[in-house]
Amino acid sequence: MENMIGHWALVPELTTGHDEFAEAMGMTDEERDTTRNFEYSFHLSRDGDGWHMKVRLGQLGTLVDTKFEPNVPFTYMLPDQVTKMTDVVTERNGHLIERMKSEKGGVIIQWDVDSYRDGDVLVMVQTKDGKSKKQTLRRQ
């Protein structure tokens, strides 16, 4: 994960698989359209023996701003104050692997995120039920 330290911003035009992934996530057409070109940024830094992660998503603002330890689940609420998120971050072969779970109104959705460096960009691949969305972020 060391090679992912920094502040990264999404390059929306390089995103692939959005509609297929959104369908697997159970998004409505409106939610799919709304999230298609969201501004997205990701920050990762060391914090003593642990890590600090901050994710901002367009108009929604900060989704998560937390310290975490690898392999230890952490929970946070989305800005809607209704959706509870649980995340477990692990490191595997230089990749930051997340097991995500959202809970809202009794509905639980789980998916995986695989983040890794590819040259001078950060690639994030979110996968649910075999459907993947690939996003590319550039260092800011």
Has this prediction a pTM greater than 0.95?
no
The pair of three-digit structure tokens given for residue 56, joined into one six-digit string: 């901002």
Q: Phi then psi for 33, rounded to 5 degrees?
A: -65, -40
pLDDT at 34: 84
Residue 112 has a pLDDT of: 98
Say which residue the tokens 């690898």 belong to. 70
Taking only the tens place, the pLDDT of each residue in 32-69 is 988 887 889 999 999 888 999 999 988 778 989 999 99
Locate 113 and state its tokens: 């995120």
pLDDT band for 130, please (50, 70, 90 cuts): very high
Are 119 and 12 spatial neighbours (Cβ–Cβ below 8 Å)? no
Which tens digits make up the pLDDT trace of 66-115? 999 999 999 999 888 999 999 999 999 999 999 999 999 999 999 999 99
Task: Pull the structure tokens for residue 91.
Answer: 């490191």
Residue 26 in 3-state DSSP? coil
Asked if pLDDT for residue 2 goes beyond 80, the answer is yes
Arithmetic mean of pLDDT, 13-23 = 96
- CATH number listed for the domain at residues 2-139: 2.40.128.20
Q: Which residues pair with 76 in a beta bridge?
A: 85
Alpha helices in the chain (DSSP H): 18-24, 29-36
**Distance, CA of 109 to CA of 91 (rounded, Å):** 22
Contact 136, 125 (CB under 8 A): no
Residue ranges of domains in the chain: 2-139
Please give the C-alpha separations between residue 76 and each of 13, 61, 65, 67, in angstroms, as whole numbers.
29, 14, 9, 11
Report the SS3 class of residue 140: coil
Q: In whole angstroms, what is the distance from residue 102 CA to residue 95 CA?
A: 22
